[in-house]
Amino acid sequence: MASQPHETPWWRGAVIYQIYPRSFADSNDDGIGDLAGITAHLEHVASLGVDAIWLSPFFASPMTDFGYDVSDYRAVDPMFGTLEDFDALLARAHELGLKVIIDQVYAHTSDQHAWFRESRAMREGDKSDWYVWADPKPDGTPPNNWLSVFYGPCWSWDGRRGQYYLHNFLPSQPNLNVHNPDVQQALFDTARFWLDRGVDGFRLDAINFAMHDPMLTDNPPVTAKTAVLRRPFDYQHHIHNQSQPELMDFVEKLARVVRDYPGERFTVAEVGGEQALTEMKTLTAGNDLLHTSYGFDFLYAEKLTPKLILSTLEKWSHEEGEGWPSWAFSNHDAPRAVSRWGDGAHQDGWARLLLALLMSLRGNVFLYQGEELGLNQAQIPFERLRDPEAIANWPLTLGRDGARTPMPWAAGQPHGGFSQAEPWLPVPGDHITHAVSVQNADPDSILALARRLVRLRRDTPALRCGDFVPLSLKPPLLGFERLFGDQRVRCLFNLGLQPAAIKSGGDKVLCAHNADTLGTLGPLGFSLQLCSGKPQSA
């Protein structure tokens, strides 16, 4: 049954543009992006028609994991600017009608955080149990078999305390003991600090790693012969070092903190792992928890198929009280979708198709910087790699550096207009040919299409927040309808490289590429059509 028109909050169906501050724009020519650089380019973001921006971490940090190792939750790292620079960014974004969402990393801190320095100093003290400490086994080995995401055991020895500490990521990222009420209160106070400054919400990084099994039970091994085992982490089912039942109480309290502020502040949880779907729904069910959850269904999928899209969307049943999903095809942690799903010979065609598909999905949409330009995954030579995961697992994984290269702003300027200095990562030549300055001058560019699609989604209730009804089409054709009240939009896509005949049935074409009025979708073509009459059945 189609949804009925009603007043919806700003975030429901919103398009949120992710900015990776280190690579967006450099205002002081030191080769690293900064807050002032973001502020100077917010008009570009606003021109897309998006609802909000999400800023990856800009907090004080030793940068062993490029900001996801926070040493002071309430300070801006000097390489990015100052708190005053952040306030200026926030004010300018609000002037342009953009909400501002910031990352909050509550599962772990940097080992340089004052809390950890105090915790490691002694076993008796105010913060002695703010982190997860454990004695060794009788033979001196770590307390259990847990393995970290990046490499090796989850445990590192600390000679100051004579104990092991837990870290689900790098050894320099010790896990907070979020079971501790004092730790929870400190995190709530951190949230209030940024809400008081005027931010519109939070993306909660790796939130399902915020609770561990206090009994430190061993994780069971992965025994399936079909399992893909690239890293030590992949050899275990991570049942005990994440996603504990006690997490729900913490999340509910945090959600209450955010809801106490006016203006429909927003929360989105990043959730990964084998039980991601269940956890995504649990964390967003009803009205007292988080607004939405951000999963990895598409981010790590190696191939785009109609089955992938339809089966993923159909897992969300539209039932009353069920949470609201969020989707991304690319981000700072995953290889760019144009390269992961497409091929270099048809890069621009894939970019157009993927933009149209992403903007047609039910849920919130996260658009990663450069996705509106059709940027591909950069090839970074080993000697230029900066990502600790890529270096540790090279060459078995593509790593994350290739998705983090600087934004190309101007084709005629050094380093694509990102900086006068050598950037922290190189700017590929084929990115410069896709620069904002080049595409701004072309009304048929990928950027121009991105603007049309984002605005179409914003102005079309069925696309923004309507129900999702799959169509039975033969692959590589993909089709579904979006329904809201009396409005119906049919979304048709050809995921193949050969023309395909398809029954159209629409009364008005809202946006199309490589499609004709006779019902043929060309290679990587799409057509979004406004329809009348009853919806087709699945």
Say whether both 49 and 24 belong to one domain. Answer: yes
Q: Is residue 470 part of a domain?
A: yes
Say whether both 385 and 519 belong to one domain. Answer: no
Say whether both 366 and 515 belong to one domain. Answer: no
Say whether both 339 and 481 belong to one domain. Answer: no
Residue 353 has pLDDT above 80, yes or no: yes
Of 65, 103, 270, 371, the active-site residue reads 270
Beta bridge partners of 267: 202
| Known catalytic membership, residue 205 | yes
Say whether both 232 and 301 belong to one domain. Answer: yes
Question: What percentage of residues in the chain have a pLDDT greater than 90?
Answer: 85
Say whether both 487 and 348 belong to one domain. Answer: no
**What's the domain range around 524?**
466-531
Say whether both 290 and 365 belong to one domain. Answer: yes
| DSSP codes joined into one string, 103-126 | EE--SB--TTSHHHHHHHH-SSST
Beta bridge partners of 515: 521
Model confidence at 538, pLDDT cuts 50, 70, 90, reads very low
Say whether both 450 and 475 belong to one domain. Answer: no
Q: Is residue 356 part of a domain?
A: yes
pLDDT at residue 535, as a whole number: 64
Q: Is residue 148 part of a domain?
A: no
Residue 536 has pLDDT above 60, yes or no: no
Residue 5 has pLDDT above 60, yes or no: no
Residue 427 has pLDDT above 50, yes or no: yes
Q: Is residue 145 part of a domain?
A: no
Say whether both 448 and 485 belong to one domain. Answer: no
Q: Is residue 48 part of a domain?
A: yes
Residue 34 has pLDDT above 60, yes or no: yes
Of 111, 205, 297, 372, the active-site residue reads 205
Structural domains in the chain (count): 2
Domain boundary among 454, 484, 512: 454
| Known catalytic membership, residue 84 | no
Tokens (6 digits) for 54: 């999400």
Say whether both 346 and 488 belong to one domain. Answer: no
Say whether both 241 and 189 belong to one domain. Answer: yes
Q: Is residue 173 part of a domain?
A: no
Among 255, 238, 216, which residue's Cα sits nearest to residue 106?
Answer: 255
Handedness of CA 409, 412, 414, 419 (dihedral sign): negative
Distance separating alpha carbons of residues 295 and 300, to the nearest angstrom: 10
CATH number, domain of 479, equals: 2.60.40.1180
Three-state DSSP class for residue 283: helix
Q: Is residue 410 part of a domain?
A: yes
Among 130, 139, 128, 183, which residue's Cα sits nearest to residue 161?
Answer: 128
pLDDT at residue 3, as a whole number: 43
Say whether both 304 and 374 belong to one domain. Answer: yes
pTM of the model: 0.95
